[in-house]
C-alpha cells in the first residue's frame, strides 16, 4: 500500500514538473524569443527595463498565469462533474456548464460594463444554472450516459443562443467575441485575471477539503446514504465548486473546451480515482495541458497566432469520439 502511495505521489510530482516546464517554455517562446538568462534577470533579478522585461511583465507572465489557472480550474471542474454525475463523458464544455458561464459573462458585460470584479461571480451563476439543469435531467429521467451527454449538448445550444441574443441587443458587450467563443489567452492582464484567480484558488482548496465526501459519493447514492453522507447536500455543494471553477476560468479565458475531459481521464489512468490524489493530478495536468496547447497555438504558424481553443478542439474532438465509442460499446 505504501509503495502504491509513493507511486501516486510520484505521478503527481511528474504532473507538477510538467506544469512548471510548460510555464517556463511559455515565458520564453513566442513571436520574440526570451532567453533563460533574460527570464532569470526579470523574475529573480528584478530587472524592469528592456524589451525582454516589457514582453515578460506585460504579455507573457499574465498569459502564462492565465493558462495555469484556467487549466487547473477546468480540469478539476471536469473531475468533480464526472464523479458527481457518475458519467465519464461529462465535462464542463460538453454538458453546457461553460456555455452557462458564457451567458452570465455576457449579461454582466452588457448590464454592468464597468464591474469587472463581478464577472467571475456572474459566470459562476450561469455555470451553476447549467450544471443544475443537467443534474435535474439526470435525476428525473434516469438518463443513460449517452442521453445525458445529448441533453448537455442541447442545453449548451440553448445557452449559446442566449449569448447571441444578448450580443444582438448589446453589440459591445463582449469585445472580441469570436475569441471569447473559441477560447483564447491573448491580451490578458494581471488585473483582469486577479478576481477570477482568487476564486479559483479558493475553490481548488474547497475541492481538496471535500475530496473524501466526493469519494464516498462515487460509491453510489444508496451506499453513500447508508454511510451517513447527506447525498443531495454534498452533491449540490460539489457542483457549486465545479461551477465556480469553470465560471471563473470562462470569465477571462472564454469558452475553452476539452481540458475538463482530457486531463481527468489522463490523471485517473495514472493515480486512480481517489480524490486526494486525483484532484492535485488534475490541477497540475490541466495546467500543463492548456499551457502546452497555448504554446503550440503561438509557435506552429508563427508569425500568425491561433486561439488556443482551436488547438484544444483539434486534440479534444478525436479524444471525445474515441471515448464515446469505447464507453458506448460497454455502457449503453
Which residues are CB-contacts of 125 (< 8 A; sequence separation ≥ 6)? 104, 247
Tell me the C-alpha distance between 327 and 332, whole Å: 8
* Residue 113, number of CB atoms within 10 A of its CB: 11
Tell me the C-alpha distance between 20 and 302, whole Å: 24
- Annotated domain spans of the chain: 66-330
Tell me the C-alpha distance between 62 and 205, whole Å: 22
- According to DSSP, residue 59 is labeled I
Please list the pLDDT of the chain residue by residue as tens digits (332 residues): 444 455 888 999 999 999 999 999 999 998 888 888 889 988 888 788 888 899 999 999 999 999 999 999 999 999 999 998 888 878 888 888 889 998 998 898 888 887 778 888 899 999 998 888 887 877 776 656 677 777 888 888 889 899 889 888 888 776 666 677 778 888 888 998 999 999 999 999 999 999 999 999 888 888 888 888 898 889 889 989 999 999 999 989 988 888 998 999 999 989 999 999 999 999 999 999 999 999 999 888 877 888 888 888 888 888 877 776 775 545 44
* Residue 209, number of CB atoms within 10 A of its CB: 10
Tell me the C-alpha distance between 4 and 20, whole Å: 24
Domain at 66-330: CATH code: 1.10.3470.10
Amino acid at each position: 500500500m505504501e509503495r502504491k502511495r509513493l507511486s501516486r505521489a510520484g505521478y503527481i510530482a511528474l504532473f507538477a514538473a510538467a506544469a512548471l516546464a510548460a510555464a517556463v517554455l511559455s515565458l520564453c517562446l513566442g513571436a520574440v524569443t526570451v532567453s533563460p538568462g533574460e527570464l532569470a534577470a526579470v523574475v529573480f533579478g528584478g530587472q524592469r527595463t528592456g524589451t525582454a522585461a516589457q514582453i515578460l511583465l506585460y504579455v507573457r507572465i499574465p498569459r502564462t498565469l492565465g493558462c495555469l489557472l484556467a487549466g487547473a480550474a477546468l480540469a478539476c471542474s471536469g473531475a468533480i462533474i464526472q464523479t458527481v454525475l457518475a458519467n465519464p463523458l461529462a465535462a464542463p464544455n460538453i454538458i453546457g456548464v461553460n456555455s452557462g458561464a458564457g451567458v452570465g459573462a455576457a449579461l454582466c458585460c452588457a448590464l454592468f460594463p464597468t464591474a469587472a470584479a463581478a464577472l467571475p461571480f456572474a459566470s459562476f451563476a450561469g455555470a451553476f444554472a447549467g450544471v443544475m439543469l443537467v443534474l435535474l435531467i439526470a435525476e428525473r429521467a434516469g438518463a443513460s450516459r449517452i442521453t445525458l451527454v445529448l441533453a448537455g449538448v442541447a442545453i449548451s445550444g440553448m445557452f449559446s443562443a442566449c449569448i447571441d441574443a444578448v450580443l444582438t441587443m448589446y453589440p459591445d458587450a463582449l469585445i472580441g467575441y469570436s475569441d471569447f467563443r473559441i477560447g483564447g489567452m491573448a491580451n490578458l492582464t494581471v488585473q483582469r485575471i486577479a478576481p477570477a484567480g482568487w476564486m479559483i484558488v479558493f475553490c481548488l482548496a474547497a475541492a481538496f477539503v471535500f475530496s473524501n465526501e466526493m469519494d464516498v459519493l462515487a460509491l453510489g447514492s444508496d451506499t453513500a446514504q447508508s454511510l451517513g453522507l447527506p447525498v443531495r447536500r454534498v452533491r449540490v455543494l460539489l457542483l457549486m465548486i465545479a461551477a465556480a471553477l469553470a465560471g471563473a476560468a470562462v470569465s477571462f479565458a472564454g469558452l475553452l473546451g476539452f481540458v475538463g475531459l482530457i486531463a481527468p481521464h489522463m490523471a485517473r489512468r495514472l493515480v486512480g480515482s481517489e480524490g486526494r490524489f486525483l484532484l492535485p493530478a488534475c490541477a497540475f495536468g490541466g495546467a500543463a495541458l492548456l499551457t502546452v496547447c497555448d504554446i503550440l497555438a503561438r509557435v506552429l504558424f508563427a508569425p500568425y497566432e491561433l486561439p488556443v481553443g482551436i488547438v484544444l478542439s483539434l486534440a479534444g474532438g478525436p479524444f471525445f469520439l474515441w471515448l464515446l465509442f469505447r464507453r458506448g460499446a460497454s455502457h449503453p
